[in-house]
Amino acid sequence: MRLNNLKTIVSENRPIINGWLAIPSSYSAEIMGHQGYDAVTVDLQHGMIDFASALTMLQALSATPAVPLVRVADDSPAQIMQVLDAGAYGVICPMISTPEQARRFVSACRYPPQGIRSFGPARGLLYGGADYPHHANREILTLAMIETREGLANIDAILETDGLDGVFIGPNDLSLTLTGAASAESTHPEMLSAIELVVSHCRLKQKIAGIFCTSGAAAANRIAQGFQFVTPANDVMQLGRASREAIALARGNEIPTTGASGY
């Protein structure tokens, strides 16, 4: 089976830089996959992407060096199993608040006896190789999103889930629940200590600590803080910013920091 390069990167103590796709386009996916990201995630929760588009995006990513990941809409096993069959080499599951939810999520990613994944590897075989069914349990990456007050309180028990590779903080949702305002780079004291708590528990349990960021500079700060998996903004934010910069430069104006998209 094709090895999951992300597991190698983690074992070598290097950070994973992950691209994020919200625009339903195999062409964008192909472009992003060729930019040097270690992984690129197709977002089925907040992105404008349905399964048919996700399939073509995973196919496009297969032709690039980036490891294809999917953020699913929730912890329902049917969609988790479908994106794995479509060739995702890892799943990011939002809104994991309890160890039971974490177990349900990981179990859907693992063939028996470790889990309940149903057999029908489809594109997994094409991307991973003929022996995919024998090694998929070892290679597929599982990241549970911590973005609720309850998830934060249960961080220890969630990290103890067998087969869970790590957690990925959703800072917008987490700050919304902790402080009343969604802000990915919130400096509210409750957010700062929540983030420190997650990083320190991941370090103790030797699990991946991941987080969504709003820029490359913000991602560099998170790596310095101890995160091993960072997403330096998504395609929509990057497209908006690049456009604003080009327009401002052409007009000889100052580059605005936020645009119509709110990013």
Quick check: 148 binds ligand 3PY (CB under 6 A)? no
Q: Which pairs from 231-235 meet CB under 8 Å and 24+ separation?
A: 231/18, 231/19, 231/20, 231/41, 232/17, 233/20, 233/263, 234/19, 234/20, 234/21, 234/22, 234/43, 234/47, 235/19, 235/20, 235/21, 235/22, 235/23, 235/28, 235/32
The number of residues that bind Mg ion (CB under 5 A) is 3
Residue 41 interacting with ligand 3PY (CB under 6 A): no
Q: What is the DSSP pairing of strand 208-213 with strand 166-169? A: parallel
Asked if 16 and 40 touch (Cβ cutoff 8 Å), the reply is: no
Q: Which of 34, 46, 135, 188 is catalytic?
A: 46
118: nearest Cα among 79, 144, 145 = 79
49 binds ligand 3PY (CB under 6 A): no
In the complex, least distance from residue 110 CB atom to Mg ion, rounded to whole angstroms: 24
Q: Shortest Cβ contact with Mg ion: which residue?
A: 170
Evaluate whether 48 touches 22 at the Cβ level (below 8 Å): yes
Interacting residues with ligand 3PY between 191 and 250 (CB under 6 A): 212
Candidates 6-14, 132-140, 166-174, 244-252: pick the segment binding ligand 3PY (CB under 6 A): 166-174
Q: Kindly indicate which of the ranges 76-84, 169-177, 197-205, 216-224 contains the residues binding ligand 3PY, using the contact rule CB under 6 A.
A: 169-177
Q: Which of 171, 173, 199, 236 binds Mg ion (CB under 5 A)?
A: 173
How many angstroms separate the CA atoms of 86 and 122, rounded?
7
Please tell me whether residue 75 binds Mg ion under the rule CB under 5 A. Answer: no
Closest to ligand 3PY by CB, 59 or 154:
154
Residue 186 CB, shortest distance to Mg ion, in Å, is 13
> Does residue 95 interact with ligand 3PY by CB under 6 A?
no
Quote the tokens at residue 72. 């699913």
Q: In the complex, what is the shortest distance from the CB of residue 91 to Mg ion, in angstroms, rounded to a whole number?
A: 15
Distance of CA 63 to CAs 22, 38, 223, Å? 19, 14, 28
Active-site annotation holds for 135: no
Q: Given candidates 59, 79, 172, 214, which one binds ligand 3PY under the rule CB under 6 A?
A: 172
Distance CA 215, CA 234 (A): 9
Q: Contact positions toward ligand 3PY, by CB under 6 A?
A: 147, 170-173, 184, 212
Q: Which residues are known catalytic residues?
A: 46
